[in-house]
Structure 1
């Protein structure tokens, strides 16, 4: 039995998946490998914004206190900030500004997070914090123009509901941080976008109390934000972790939670940004490198835009050091790409989405069908995954009947799976070299490319029958284009080797 695809669009396909992507700390963008990776991502996927930690941390060098003639002063320096944002704009991507972490010269305590020691304590001076926010935004406006900076969302802190990211997970202290910051942002320019509270999963009541607080204080809020992950507690091994996973449907439930919580209240209708999401919240979990991760996330990308205004994959690259400098080319990093631009299966999920049309024809539990203005139809299909750890099984079938007016259709199919387009599998078979030699890197990059197949399909009775049998954890993109046959009348494939009878 085939699912019948409507002949006319049922709506527009949301590109919430493309609105933003995550990154390692701000100053990592100064590195060549980072910029090479981002250039590749932008050529083949094309995100609009990029978000990461550390804009105000010591590594970016913005807050520079000093003494002169016995008095304390602060110099606000933007040497690195300018280089990073210039590089972003050159690559066609704009920042999603996360204000954090606390500069050590302004911190009220010494608690830090990550290998690179981002300070997570409140400011020792609220006035000096406000001055830092003001100086940063004023500089960005002076350098890049007000109209452009107005497009850059400004998020106040990161996961303050976790004691690791905000001292004591002190909600009242975060509310004060938000108030001082939001009022400062709007004092710089009332049209700048400010929001929060950027909470992690597990403390959803923070969102409702945040809404109550900003409403009671009549504070500006232009969007709300939260994060989404579905992994369980970390089971530690040297230089890595393993975790259980809950079904992908729970990611979608987390995407939907803010709108559900805020419905009927004063913040209802505000944009909802999922500013981080992935399977595991750990940067050293091998699940991120696998074909499983791509198949798991396919329905999330296909449907997530119906539930949130953006969903930002955490992260675009393994140039990332929260748990320390990676010990191997594949190490379970968050990235769509490893160091040295080896594409993971999840990278291709995004690249496939980037090649889809914007006219939504239909969506199912294992497929998404679109059309573009040229009449090209695209089908994204994926093999359902089992989070219980049962062995993956090949043979899942997607059968569709797609309306087409042309007598025949050209089909191009691109696939990644456990066997296809899977550099991690090739690396494992290679003996898991921690620092691959140049030839090994070339092999891994070749192994990372999707397997591509093509054929002509008849369009009988005004439709094409498409039968897709999927490999283990396969994600496949099918592109269907009407054929305009320009074969000359004298052409005969039987005569390619000079055999057969003359005609004409």
Structure 2
């Protein structure tokens, strides 16, 4: 096996597109303790920039209150829940990515809904009322949080109008009308607020050019283009879950690249591109989300996605998610990086490992990323390549050899590097496997929860690694177990051991 010779000088800068945005369930979940506890964990260990979820105008948020009493008829906007949720976001250092939808019942033209929580998918019966709601909401947010702050919150018009399940009839013409009215309302409030769409479902090729042609004709403002990407096939239903085929991981990056290619020659070609949802499966009850396989599968996307788009939002940060109803079990195939009760899944660790990478890229390959920070610490993220349903025979082990330069920030070569390795695979750092061994308890006891939290932490090893005194290189061979992701951090050692110490004498011998 040949060794990858890692260059001493950076070959590029690591994009932060992978953590600019993360997804969440319906907006009102931000009032719940478990949700907020999970958000605090992901912000402390990963640190996302923005949070996008559905249903800011859903009736559970209580924003639109119409009244007819004592001769007084009108509409009152109630900000009680909105303020509590946005306050909670900002307290942990994350900003809203405002998706405007679904339709408040008081403004809706019909009764069609989606999800267990019944988001109304019909157009407004009166676009003037819809525009008034949009303007009032943004003006309130500006009054409360300041114009400079709200200008940093992207504003997206609706969710997946290309699917009839999310927009009545999946009507292009009606969505284009909604987009125009919404975008103009946003700019009425402030010209520097950023608005975009069309937030289409995966591979909605027949929407991209028509949307570009429409806004070119209507003059509606578009500050960014948004769309979604998933890699699974049709659902094979079982009680409280589904199974699905998985395409090759490269299909996600292909989906990331496709809209810009199709928009070549249009005014939207050079706009910021935001993938406002992506994952392996588009279902919130597919057990692949709970596995180490999911993390290994998505590693190339996190490493390479920033080459193609400005942000890509993992869907979602938490299993607090109710589109198919209240989850029936602690592990249920939910989208989340965390289960309820903040049990970390392997894909959580993929994100945490990415958060530990340095800003300078030294090397990149089909199974690794090598970076360095300003203190000389070299971080190696490695993974076992996987190929989806049609390539099921991953070996029990994957080997990677690297020749890695390590030096102090001033360029001097230390004698050794401190090597700290974190491992997650089918057995290590894998609470899902532990839960299977437990007999899959739907609602674990306190002791079982403690065991699951412990099992969810990566396996840690550490050693002193000798360096070539001339080149300062460490010769490393990594052996990865099945479906493993691993983080190896090499820190140049400044040895402060006093000369009189002799660890061999600790027992007095």
Normalised to the residue count of structure 1, the TM-score between the two structures is 0.98
Counterpart residue number, 2:409: none
Contact 2:247–2:387 (8 Å) recurs in 1: no
Counterpart residue number, 1:32: 33
1:214-233 equivalences in 2 (<5 Å): 214-233=215-234
Q: Determine whether 1:440 maps to 2:448.
A: yes
Counterpart residue number, 1:483: 493
Deviation larger for 217-226 or 66-75: 66-75
Q: How far apart, in 1, do the equivalents of 2:504 and 2:50 lie?
A: 54
Counterpart residue number, 1:190: 191
Cα distance change of structure 1 residues 71 and 212 upon mapping to structure 2, 3 Å threshold: farther
Contact 2:249–2:387 (8 Å) recurs in 1: no
Indicate the SS of the match to 1:487: coil
1:352-367 equivalences in 2 (<5 Å): 352-367=353-368
Q: How far apart, in 2, do the equivalents of 1:174 and 1:71 lie?
A: 33
Deviation larger for 128-137 or 67-76: 67-76
The alpha carbon displacement at 1:436 in A equals 0.2
The alpha carbon displacement at 1:385 in A equals 1.3
Please point out which of 402, 405, 416 is paired with 1:403.
Answer: 405
The alpha carbon displacement at 1:142 in A equals 0.4
The alpha carbon displacement at 1:386 in A equals 3.4
1:55-70 equivalences in 2 (<5 Å): 55-69=56-70
Q: How far apart, in 2, do the equivalents of 1:348 and 1:169 lie?
A: 37
> Size of the alignment, in residue pairs?
499
Deviations 1:176-202 (A, max 9, x none): 000000001001000000000000113
Q: How far apart, in 2, do the equivalents of 1:225 and 1:70 lie?
A: 45
Q: How far apart, in 2, do the equivalents of 1:340 and 1:372 lie?
A: 33
1:103-142 equivalences in 2 (<5 Å): 103-142=104-143
The alpha carbon displacement at 1:219 in A equals 1.5
Indicate the SS of the match to 1:415: strand
RMSD value over aligned CA atoms? 1.0
The alpha carbon displacement at 1:493 in A equals 2.5
Q: How far apart, in 2, do the equivalents of 1:181 and 1:218 lie?
A: 13
Deviations 1:243-301 (A, max 9, x none): 00001100001111122122332112110000000000000000000000000001110
Structure 2: 5+ residue runs without aligned partners? 407-412
Q: How far apart, in 2, do the equivalents of 1:211 and 1:67 lie?
A: 42
Q: Determine whether 1:474 maps to 2:500.
A: no
Q: Determine whether 1:394 maps to 2:396.
A: yes
Deviations 1:42-65 (A, max 9, x none): 111110100000000101111112
Q: Determine whether 1:21 maps to 2:22.
A: yes
The alpha carbon displacement at 1:204 in A equals 1.7
Please point out which of 474, 496, 499 is paired with 2:506.
Answer: 496
Contact 2:3–2:401 (8 Å) recurs in 1: yes
Counterpart residue number, 1:101: 102
Q: How far apart, in 2, do the equivalents of 1:391 and 1:497 lie?
A: 50
Indicate the SS of the match to 1:105: helix
Q: How far apart, in 1, do the equivalents of 2:139 and 2:209 lie?
A: 32
1:162-311 equivalences in 2 (<5 Å): 162-311=163-312
Q: How far apart, in 2, do the equivalents of 1:168 and 1:278 lie?
A: 26
Deviations 1:318-346 (A, max 9, x none): 00100000000000000000000000000
Indicate the SS of the match to 1:385: coil
Indicate the SS of the match to 1:86: helix
Indicate the SS of the match to 2:156: strand
Counterpart residue number, 2:461: 453
Counterpart residue number, 1:160: 161
1:416-427 equivalences in 2 (<5 Å): 416-427=424-435
Q: How far apart, in 2, do the equivalents of 1:351 and 1:96 lie?
A: 22
Counterpart residue number, 1:502: none
Runs of 4 or more above 4 Å deviation: 69-72
Indicate the SS of the match to 1:207: helix
1:319-334 equivalences in 2 (<5 Å): 319-334=320-335
The alpha carbon displacement at 1:136 in A equals 0.4
The alpha carbon displacement at 1:71 in A equals 6.6
Contact 2:247–2:388 (8 Å) recurs in 1: yes
Counterpart residue number, 1:414: 422
Structure 1: 5+ residue runs without aligned partners? 500-504
Deviation larger for 251-260 or 142-151: 251-260
Indicate the SS of the match to 1:227: strand
